[in-house]
Structure 1
Amino acid sequence: MSGLNSVNLVGRAGRDPEMRMFESGATLCTVTLAVNRQKRKGEEQAPDWFDLEIWGRTAEIAGEYVRKGSLIGISGSLGFSRWSDRTTQETRERAVVKVDQLELLGRSATSTSAE
């Protein structure tokens, strides 16, 4: 039996996206996503934070339209980003959501519309 690695989230961008272009022509967009958990009675609502990694044309769209506070929905898989610490030379890693699909659901909560 094969495994299942699927992540679906709806939340608000925690910051403006960071874009990186590579010599190969690949485009990478990274952004954090705050997802509010359902709170129990009497508890304060605290978001769960996720690091998103978006590649290709979807990354270009995210870079153009997503801003801090934008409501977005994503589908993807959980992965790990690994690197070597420049100071200690130790291998570090962190969990990231590798986004396959992005839906723009709404503007930033702080944006205003011109009428």
Structure 2
Amino acid sequence: MELPKQAYDDLMSDKWLFGRGCSDMKGGGSIQLSLIEEYSKEEDFNGNIVLISVPDEENLSAGMRGATYLLKDLKEKYNLNYILMLNSEPHERGNDLKPTIYDGSIGKIMPVVYVRGKLAHVG
């Protein structure tokens, strides 16, 4: 099967990633698992990683709201000090200098911290 010229040009430009789920929760989940794999290889890693995955983002954020109790319990039980949260939701760029970041929708609770840095899937 031959790609249409526009699709071929996009593929060759290195500005697009083709594949189902590459800009959805599955893509973010893959990034998170890859990060855990990389950190697990560091001999001097000083800390712990907690991965919370909630499959019900469109259900009044029930999973994330429930996870807050788990995070609190883990914090108290193991004397944890949470210092960083990564949210792997996708974002869009119609213009390379202006990212569009979504902070949730009706029934969806998402804390947002905007940090500028190296362009990556995690905005």
TM-score by length of 2: 0.25
Task: Work out which structure has the larger RCO, using CA pairs closer than 8 Å and 6 or more positions apart in sequence.
Answer: 1
Q: Which has the larger radius of gyration?
A: 2
Task: Give the structure with the larger helix fraction.
Answer: 2
Task: Give the structure with the larger strand fraction.
Answer: 1
TM-score by length of 1: 0.26
